[in-house]
Amino acid sequence: MTHPDMSISRRAMLLSAAALSACGVGPKSPAPPTTIEAAVAGAWRLPADRARDPWRHPAQSLKFWGLAPGQTVVEFWPGAGWFTDIIAPFLAATGGRFYAAALQASDAAGREMAEAYRRKLADHPRLYGKVTMTAFGPTSGPVAPAGSADLVLFLRNLHNWMAAGLAEKAFRDAFAALKSGGVLGVEEHRADPAATPDPMAASGYVPQAYVVQLAQEAGFTLAAASEINANQKDDHNHPFGVWTLPPVRRSSPRGQPADPTFDHAKYDAVGESDRMTLKFVKPATANA
């Protein structure tokens, strides 16, 4: 099972390793980021990642989900580590604990990405702290000890899990990992509510009502919804799905060579996708 944007994630991983080396992360690391804002401003983050902050709003999103010092956090499928580069240093600096439930890869490309992510963390222990690597996939076990997590994050991956038949399992595994009263934070490409629902999410867009349904079926309660990551310019209708938009900018069907004649201007003007930002809670009465 391969992540749809695997090649981009591998390139980002290589760039991230180079950036960490260049900024001197190690014995002469910057001051520990004890606030979310300091972690977002961290010199170890790639310039390309920083450039996406106006679209992904990391500080606002993490505060909306309730990230706090000393928490135990689980990130499902962290990819190259866009959010990990913010969350893990913050937790390391504040006495928290971070679990990375990486892709349970069945192919060489997926295993390569997971291993590159693992090396990135291991090579910079002062920055990232002691990260516990687990896995999420068709046959994976617990992503963290039962009832241990304060916060679990699904960050633009639910469409992949729908296509792979893993969406229900993701919510079940998150519910099991969370403490009673713990939070599940979701960021996902949001489908036009008038569109015909696609259980495979082939376009990359997911109906918000369906996400709420999946969460409630797993036992969660919807606590809040935010428009932090909304984009009214996105009409959700693009020739190659959400991947037509930045940052992927696909110009041909997946698996085919890029089309050099494709005009990206219209889609670049839209920017990144319209996204839902949801906060679910495991009821305080639920068994941990």
User: What is the model's pLDDT at position 186?
Assistant: 98
Is-contact 94 36, C-beta < 8 A? Answer: no
In a domain, 264, yes or no: no
CATH number, domain of 104, equals 3.40.50.150
- Between CA 99 and CA 105 the distance in angstroms is 17
In a domain, 261, yes or no: no
User: What is the model's pLDDT at position 15?
Assistant: 44
User: What is the model's pLDDT at position 31?
Assistant: 83
User: What is the model's pLDDT at position 287?
Assistant: 58
pLDDT in tens, the chain (288 residues): 444 554 444 444 444 554 454 444 544 556 899 999 999 999 999 999 999 999 999 999 999 999 999 999 999 999 999 999 999 999 999 999 999 999 987 788 888 888 999 999 999 999 999 999 999 999 999 999 999 999 999 999 999 999 999 999 999 999 999 999 999 999 999 999 999 999 999 999 999 999 999 999 999 999 999 999 999 999 999 999 999 999 999 999 999 999 999 999 999 999 999 999 999 999 997 654
| Helices first, then strands: H and E counts in the chain | 12, 7
DSSP conformation letters of 273-288? PPEEEEEEE--TTS--
Supply angle C-alpha 227, 91, 24, rounded to 5: 105
User: What is the model's pLDDT at position 20?
Assistant: 55
**Number of domains within the chain:** 1
- Between CA 184 and CA 273 the distance in angstroms is 21
In a domain, 245, yes or no: no
In a domain, 244, yes or no: no
Dihedral Cα 105, 107, 110, 113, nearest 10 deg: 120
Is-contact 220 184, C-beta < 8 A? Answer: yes
Q: How far apart are the first and last CA of the chain?
A: 31
Looking at the chain, list the stretches that DSSP marks H as alpha helix, in order from N- to C-terminal side: 6-22, 36-40, 47-50, 53-56, 58-65, 84-94, 108-122, 125-128, 158-163, 167-177, 208-217, 265-270
In a domain, 57, yes or no: yes
DSSP conformation letters of 230-243? --TT--S--TTGGG
In a domain, 255, yes or no: no
User: What is the model's pLDDT at position 10?
Assistant: 47
In a domain, 257, yes or no: no
Note down the domain range covering 126: 6-236+273-281
Whether the ω angle into residue 247 lies within 30 degrees of 0, i.e. cis, is yes
User: What is the model's pLDDT at position 285?
Assistant: 79
In a domain, 256, yes or no: no
